[in-house]
A and B are shown apart, each in its own frame.
Chain A
Amino acid sequence: MARLCKEMNSLFSEFVLKNLRLCGFHTVVDFLEENPENLVRITKLPYKDIVLLRHNIIANFSAFQSSGKTAYNEIVTNSAMVSTGIERLDALLGGGILTGNIYEVCGLSGSCKTQLCLTIAMNIALSLKQKVYYIDAKLDFSSRRIFSMLEEKQIAETDVTETLKRIEVVRIKDLYQLFSFLHTLRENLAQRELESSFVRVIILDSLPAVFFSFLNDTNNEGIALKSQLANTMKHIALECHVAFLLVNLASRHFDEIENLPDPDLTVSSVQTEVVKPALGKQWLHIPSTRLLLKKVESQVHVSIIKSINIPLCSSCILNIKDEGLV
């Protein structure tokens, strides 16, 4: 908590807290920002007590730096590369989905984004026998599709049941429910670190479905909540060693690109179609890797449009089959 209260330190008595609040100091940040001499005058505590309180608060609430080597060792010991089960996609991603990251899949309507998510969820639950969380914001999760995909692969009935039981589906109606779920999930994951059925991948389908009601906002509430969401997801990804796979929309725009003037000194411009991910410029920076899907007949072209370690414009082609995306 950020609000000053007596649970933080025994020196924060009722009298001290009342005086602080009367002068407008409610949170730890207010306390730290103020001059210690002023605080002595307000709280009537001796100077050394104020200094002790400050050190206490800093020890409990501030961030600590660690060396790059420690951070690297932590990543190496704790993160995992989760295979998506789709060979070509794994090759494109350099092995699979790395925990601690946020992946985004974007594409136009009908470009098989949900199909991809269902295929990945099924593969992880089936081959890796891990639990997968599927957060469904638009009621598009289809158990029947996963069932038919497993049937096409000719998996035994008991295995089919076990696989389906490993995929946990949450139906959320708005952004606030999403926050509630993420915070509860974080608490559960932190407690269950040692249990065998841990979670490595959380799929969110889809993000624009919860943010579109904030489109016409005048007080920019949507932007603030987007930042909060990004913050929460990154924290969970790093602390609980999971990876998020988000589904985003894309929209078409026409950009005019001017060609170089040719010898007759006429400048011609060409209109090209540009496909941009939805949710605005702020969201462009949030995921660590962004995949663009494009459906061409019965194939899906997957290309990388943002990545830290994979070369851009690398792509692969997946086939849409009855057993999923291959």
Chain B
Amino acid sequence: MFRPLCTLPLPGLLSSKLRELGFMYCDDVCFDRNGKPILDPIAEKVLRQWSDEPCTYWKELLATPATKNAFSHLQDECDLGRIETFCRSLDEYMDGGVPLQRITEFSGAPGSGKTQMCLHLCVDVQIPRAFCGLEGQAVFVDSCSAFTVSRLSEIAEACVNHCSMLARDGLNQNMLQAMKHFSKISILENVFHVLCFTHVDLMASIIYLKKFLSEHRQVRLIVIDSITFALQTIDNALQRVSLLYDLMENLRTIASEFDVAVVVTNNLTTKVETEKESSLIPALGESFGHSVNYRFLLGRTTDSNFVCVSGKNLNKSSVTVPFQITRSGIREVQNN
């Protein structure tokens, strides 16, 4: 069977030029003679307008992704880094914390702790390796202006105090050494804040992130708070959906290429049921759940008690996990 040229990611002008000259299939352009691939001379002339090395260019277009068996994947998955949340039941539920190279979604009503969770993760990702942390930096893409430096410094201070206490009690040389570089100021310095107002800003920042991450290899967390807010400026629903998927595709590539965790926050919307009461579900549609790997629904029960329900978790069944938000950030529920 021949592979048509339209199934290659060719620039529009190149594909129309080749089509005019009668090239319909990949075999027309480049065929195997005695095991060696040879480009058709006319096609080569056209390709040379796009690239100085037509053979290499053509080979890159036809590149096939590599297969890896599940056993190697298992080893990779077990080695996957995780960002701890300081709440033991939550960490246990997430197999150690928010995973790297995956997209996690936190959705919830306003005031349910989403931004608090994001700020907390920005601090936790920076915990030094001596304390079994990732010692990474964080990028906070802010589209709803919920980022407050004072709250971040509160959480940072609590984390530093906690770590210094551990270092003092453990008398571990590595930990004491690490504490010299780990302070409230250093935590604040390692969080990069990007402000977005419209969907154009958001898309531009995500695309720029690729360049940014190749220069700042220490980044281990990208937070987008919130993804729904920036997309509300688009009127056309179809355009909104297609932009959302472009965004998610870019985020997926970034997550796996640069070994970062992507955390996205989402709002809730009403699901109209015919016979039952209307319920609240995460916004952006059913298909958004398709693009993220883990979904968590956050809710507030009392002043400082919150719960986290998993909407999509491949490895475990759905469970409700309670946690508290205190002055120091996310913590385990204290039973009085």
Contacts and interface: CB of A to CB of B under 8 A. Distances in A.
A307 interface: no
A298 B67 contact: no
A212 B220 CA distance: 27
Contacts of B249: 173-174, 213
Q: B-side binding surface: helix, strand, loop or mixed?
A: mixed
A143 B74 contact: yes
Interface stretch (B58-66, B113-121, B125-133, B192-200): B58-66
B29 to A, nearest CB: 9
A55 interface: no
B1 A186 contact: yes
B22 A161 contact: no
Nearest to A21: B22
Given A1-B2, A142-B77, A108 B24 contact: no
A148 B23 CA distance: 50
A36 interface: no
B200 to A, nearest CB: 15
A280 to B, nearest CB: 13
B235 to A, nearest CB: 13
Interface residues of A, number: 75
A288 interface: no
Contact of A239 (B1, B63, B65): B1
From A27, A180, A213, residue with most partner B Cβ within 10 Å: A180
Contacts of A114: 314
A169 B315 contact: no
Given A1-B28, A110-B312, A169 B286 contact: no
B54 interface: no
Interface string A129-169: 00001100011111111111000000000000100111111
Contact of B287 (A27, A165, A167, A212): A212
Interface string B226-260: 00000000000011011101100100110110000
A179 B253 CA distance: 19
Contacts of B148: none
B171 to A, nearest CB: 36
From A3, A30, A208, A249, residue with most partner B Cβ within 10 Å: A3
Nearest to A247: B290
A110 B25 contact: no
B65 A143 contact: no
Contact of B238 (A167, A213, A215, A271): A215
Contacts of A173: 65, 249, 252-253
Interface in B73-90: 73-74, 76-78
A235 interface: yes
B150 interface: no
Contacts of B77: 142-144
B69 A167 contact: yes
Q: A-side binding surface: helix, strand, loop or mixed?
A: mixed
A177 interface: yes
Contacts of A208: 287, 290
B315 A2 contact: no
Contact of A143 (B73, B289, B291): B73
A232 interface: yes
Interface residues of B, number: 65
Nearest to B31: A1
A139 B71 contact: no
Given A109-B289, A165-B71, A225-B6, A216 B101 contact: no
A168 B28 contact: no
Contacts of B295: 110
A134 B287 CA distance: 21
A298 B318 CA distance: 10
B70 A169 contact: yes
Contacts of B245: 212-213, 215
Given A169-B68, A239-B1, A144 B312 contact: no
A209 B73 contact: no
A283 interface: no
B16 to A, nearest CB: 12
A215 B242 contact: yes
Contact of A146 (B6, B9, B70, B273): B70
Contact of A251 (B8, B40, B286, B312): B286
B317 interface: yes
A139 B65 contact: no
Contact of B315 (A4, A144, A177, A216): A144
Contact of B67 (A147, A168, A176): A168
B287 A133 contact: no
B49 interface: no
Interface in A222-254: 224-225, 228, 232, 235, 239, 249-252, 254
A166 to B, nearest CB: 7
Given A2-B28, A212-B242, A161 B71 contact: yes
Interface in A95-143: 108-110, 114-115, 133-134, 138-143
A303 interface: no
Interface in B163-208: none
B239 A216 contact: yes
A110 B289 contact: yes
- 9 residue pairs, one from A and one from B, having the closest CB atoms: A26-B22, A109-B289, A216-B242, A212-B245, A143-B74, A164-B71, A167-B70, A3-B28, A215-B242
Given A30-B22, A183-B3, A273-B273, 9 more contacts: A4-B22, A5-B40, A27-B22, A109-B286, A144-B78, A171-B68, A173-B249, A176-B7, A228-B7
10 contacts: A1-B31, A3-B22, A3-B23, A138-B290, A141-B70, A164-B74, A228-B7, A250-B286, A254-B274, A273-B274
Interface of A: 1-5, 7, 21, 26-27, 30, 108-110, 114-115, 133-134, 138-148, 161, 164-177, 179-181, 183-184, 186, 206, 208-209, 212-216, 224-225, 228, 232, 235, 239, 249-252, 254, 270-273, 278, 298, 320
